[in-house]
Amino acid sequence: QVQLVESEGGSVQAGGSLRLACTASGSSYALTFILNWGWFRQSPEQEREGVAAIGGHSGMTYYADSVKGRFTISRDNDENTVYLQMNNLKPEDSAVYYCAAAFRAGNWASIGTYGYWGHGTQVTVSS
């Protein structure tokens, strides 16, 4: 079993920054097999959407067009932690952000690729 815990989100004004962290716990052996880490978000009006992902071993990164150039995903394999640095935040970035881990290959932005999810953390951006 793998558990994912996101750090607390927060509230910022437009143009501000936040950094989210997600730490995985469980079998250290199992954690070495995480293929991809992902960040998703969901607002009340929209379906859950992929924001960014990073290869657990390759380090390759993927971003939604809406966040390219503003968000940066990174990972610390020694700490089993993935980060999402969010800069120049906009009101439309307001959502509950979820961390996810995938043990199989697939579309990085597809919910079905990921087998483990955190409980989510709220990010609110005011104009």
Per-residue pLDDT of the chain (127 residues; tens, 9 = 90+): 899 999 999 999 999 999 999 999 998 888 888 899 999 999 998 999 999 999 988 899 999 999 999 999 999 988 999 999 999 999 999 999 999 999 999 999 999 999 999 999 999 999 9
How far is residue 117 from each of residues 69, 98, 111, 121, measured CA to CA in Å? 25, 7, 10, 12
Per the DSSP assignment, residues forming a β-bridge with 96 are 42, 122
CB distance 92 to 126 below 8 Å: no
Per the DSSP assignment, residues forming a β-bridge with 75 are 82
| pLDDT (0 to 100) of residue 57 | 87
Give the DSSP letter of residue 92. G
CB distance 45 to 32 below 8 Å: no
| Residue 6, amino acid | E
| pLDDT (0 to 100) of residue 97 | 98
CB distance 9 to 97 below 8 Å: yes
